[in-house]
Amino acid sequence: MFGLADVNSFYASCEALFRPDLRGKPVVVLSNNDGCVIARSTGAKALGIKMGSPWFQIETQAYTEKVYAFSSNYALYHSLSQRVMTVLEELTPRVEQYSIDEMFLDLTGIDSCEDFEHFGRRLKEHVLNTTGLAIGVGIGPTKTLAKSAQWASKEWQQFRGVLALTPSNPKRTTTLLEHQPVEAIWGVGRQIGKRLNLMGIKNALQLAQSNTRFIRENFTVVLERIVRELNGESCIPLEELPPSKQHIVCSRSFGERITSKESMQQALCQYATRAAEKLRGERQFCRHVGVFIRTSPHAVNEVFYGNSAGEKLALPTQDTRDIIEVAMRSLDRIWLDDRRYMKAGIVLDDFTPNGVTQLNLFDENKPRAGSAQLMKALDGINQSGLGDVWFAGQGVNTEWKMKREMLSPAWTTRWDDIPIARIW
């Protein structure tokens, strides 16, 4: 038996967690550069605000209630995500974190001690009491059915956020699948859903009753597994250890268009620093560094330009300095003046678990002395919350940075942002 725990309206819930005055109010979280809505509270959904709606349209529209908007606060969301996942592991040791706000749980044997739904409500209460965040719990004999149960627990209020699909109650599973649109099934999505609809498959029950051989021949083996899982056959195991990343990408759209090479160098230096931190967090070394830059394809009276360059390294590295050097040389090869650049990024790939390589007798490339110790000290300072150390190439006054005009405090990761309670 699998469980799926999912934080309700995660980003919006994080914003309201330290703001009691926002409980029950319409709250939306915006994408990079405060562009579109990427998360909504229950109150915002009730006003009819749709995912992906541009903020400039929402802020000029008259609603019955005031809408509170926030820029994406990734540091806050990551910190609270870690807290929720730690709490979930306290009651279910075998887990798989699926996303920033979702975790699969191995619930095999729980029913020998207590009812599945009773355990789900206990889990929900434990997370709420410990973190202040509300979760929904879906339980089923396969991952796909657990995901469907979790979807239903949100759709129908009578389940109060917890629903278990068990082999002993097949009628409940059949009823749920009959009411679940095929595009709402985990792993199906809108595009495949449209194709299935044209074939007369409009809900999860119809997909479950489909011929698996036909599905595999006309779609993919992935969809075939989903069909089997809908029928109670577990095909997707719990992955306790996440697979190693094949590449790391760090990119952003700029708050203002970049027109000078110096500003682009600062941006790429910053992205290279962040990518190198992620690389060290994965305990990997990279052997290839790539850079890309591009203008806006939608700009009026401007010719679109996009290009990329990179280098294969003689020695695998996780040293930020090596990555910055390659990024600067690569930028020199693709930079064009008189362009208004809207986005750039760094790509690291060709990973290896160590920095060892076979050196040529006449090779002049040598590993940097003390590199590991320096990077460890750098990461330690920057992750302490007490201060930051950065490379001079990143600049100080960077007006091109991502626009985040409605950013909330980093309540849990920055000392200066910790709320202070005064008792008179």
Residue 325 structure tokens: 């050097």
At 118 the pLDDT is 93
Residue (of 390, 320, 385, 389) closest to 348 by Cα position:
320
Domain presence at residue 27 = yes
Kindly state the helix (H) or strand (E) to which residue 71 belongs, with its residue range: strand 68-71
How many domains, the chain?
3
pLDDT of residue 270: 92
370 lies in the same domain as 285: yes
| pLDDT for res 410 | 87
Note the pLDDT of residue 253: 84
User: Where residue 84 falls among pLDDT bands split at 50, 70, 90?
Assistant: very high
- pLDDT tier, 361 (very low <50, low <70, confident <90, very high otherwise): low
| CATH code of the domain covering residue 20 | 3.40.1170.60
Is residue 281 a part of any domain in this protein?
Answer: yes
pLDDT at 225: 93
What percent of the chain stands above pLDDT 70?
95
Model pTM score: 0.79
Note whether residue 2 is domain-resident. no
Residue 236 included in any domain: no
Shared domain check, 163 and 70: no
Q: What tokens does 20 get?
A: 């009691």
Mean pLDDT, rounded, for 159-179: 92
Q: How far is residue 328 CA from its own chain's centroid? A: 28
What is the pLDDT, as a whole number, of residue 155?
86
Average pLDDT, stretch 9-25? 92
- Selected residue with higher pLDDT from 397 and 255: 255
pLDDT, position 367:
75
Residue-wise pLDDT tens digits, 330-358: 999 999 999 999 999 999 999 888 766 66
- What number of other Cβ atoms are within 10 A of residue 221's Cβ? 11
In a shared domain, residues 390 and 267 = yes
Indicate if 42 and 109 belong to the same structural domain: no
Contact 137, 153 (CB under 8 A): yes
Same domain, 13 and 56: yes
> Looking at the domain assignment, is residue 418 inside a domain?
no
CB atoms under 10 Å from CB of 113, counted, come to: 8
Domain boundaries, position 97: 77-230
Do the domain assignments include residue 242?
A: no
Residues 84 and 216 in one domain: yes
| Cβ-based burial of 246 (10 A; exposed 0-12, middle 13-18, buried ≥19) | exposed
Q: Is residue 237 one of the residues assigned to a domain?
A: no
The reply to whether 142 and 267 lie within a common domain is no
Give yes or no: residues 66 and 86 share one domain: no
pLDDT, position 347: 95
pLDDT at 41: 92
Higher pLDDT, 253 or 285: 285
pLDDT given at position 356: 62
DSSP 167-217: TT-HHHHHHHHHHSBGGGSTTTHHHHHHHHHHTT--BHHHHHTS-HHHHHH
| CATH code of the domain in which 139 resides | 3.30.70.270
254-270 per-position pLDDT tens digit: 878 899 999 999 999 99
Same domain, 23 and 105: no
Q: Does residue 389 belong to any structural domain of this protein? A: yes
Confidence of residue 400 (pLDDT cuts 50, 70, 90): low
| In a shared domain, residues 201 and 110 | yes
Question: Averaged over 312-327, what is the pLDDT?
Answer: 93
| Mean local confidence (pLDDT), 101-121 | 91
Tell me what pLDDT residue 360 has.
60
pLDDT score at 362: 59
The domain that contains 295 carries what CATH number? 3.30.1490.100
One domain, residues 38 and 131: no
| pLDDT of res. 255 | 79
Last residue of a domain, one of 230, 261, 276: 230
Burial class (CB in 10 A: 0-12, 13-18, 19+), 375: buried
Q: Is the pLDDT of residue 279 over 70?
A: yes
Q: Among the three residues 74, 104, 122, which one is the final residue of a domain in this structure?
A: 74
Write down the pLDDT at residue 363.
60
- The predicted model gives 195-212 an average pLDDT of 92
The whole-number pLDDT of residue 111 equals: 84
Both 113 and 221 in a single domain? yes
In this prediction, residue 355 carries a pLDDT of: 63
